[in-house]
Amino acid sequence: SQKIEQNSEALNIQEGKTATLTCNYTNYSPAYLQWYRQDPGRGPVFLLLIRENEKEKRKERLKVTFDTTLKQSLFHITASQPADSATYLCALDTEDSNYQLIWGAGTKLIIKP
Amino acid sequence: DGGITQSPKYLFRKEGQNVTLSCEQNLNHDAMYWYRQDPGQGLRLIYYSQIVNDFQKGDIAEGYSVSREKKESFPLTVTSAQKNPTAFYLCASSRGLAGGQETQYFGPGTRLLVL
């Protein structure tokens, strides 16, 4: 069966360190993978999109990698700050998805001062 | 201010009652979506619409209905047939381009609770 998995346990990181979140998938051939941030009681907000033929994408303190062989994407936040605390969702967009994204359940990130 | 609005923020449903959740966007997007979010689960697609007067069922459409009479509006009705409606409902929109790369823009959500 097709699955997309993110670590369900909260990730606790000390302020200033790099936070790394994982998104694993099985039985998909994603064309694109997206990362979103969701704060409690709010809608998700788009952060980064990476294509299947890209290895890495950066935006300020954020970096996303995409390994189609391992079927995994890593999301890094460098120099983490307490304001980065939120739940981070990954979503796949496959070639035949017909506008639909397939969502992971998200990983809660807590940055401790 | 461009964006998506949802109302109400909280909604209470009685047994056997239909309730309607509002979603409006002024981003001039063609595609709109309704998702349901439950604790510990990914967003699940209820319905989506790629163009006015047309919509398709998502993975969990049973017990829900939608309409798309205007480009800006995509209301969701939770009917009495939906036996477990308590959840956080999210509306989203995207440009509706073919070929993927569809970033979605979300509203603030409506939390539906059953009395």
Please give the pLDDT value at position B42.
Answer: 87
pLDDT at B13 over 70: yes
Helix (H, G, I), strand (E, B) or coil at B2: coil
* Rounded to 5°, angle at Cα B21 from B17 and B24: 160
Indicate the average pLDDT of chain B. Answer: 92
The answer to whether residue A10 neighbours chain B at the CB level (below 8 Å) is no
Indicate the average pLDDT of chain A. Answer: 92
The answer to whether residue A45 neighbours chain B at the CB level (below 8 Å) is yes
- Across the interface, of B102, B106, B107, the residue whose CB is closest to A99 is B102
Residues of A in contact with B24 (CB under 8 A): none
Please give the pLDDT value at position A3.
Answer: 81
Could you read off the pLDDT of A3-55 as tens digits, one per residue? 889 988 999 999 999 999 999 998 887 888 999 999 999 999 999 999 988 98
% of chain A surpassing 70 pLDDT:
94
Please give the pLDDT value at position B53.
Answer: 95
Please give the pLDDT value at position A30.
Answer: 81
The answer to whether residue A30 neighbours chain B at the CB level (below 8 Å) is no
* Rounded Cα gap, residues A2 and A113, in angstroms: 38
Residues with Cβ within 8 Å of residue A32, at least 6 apart in sequence: A49, A50, A51, A52, A92, A93, B100, B101
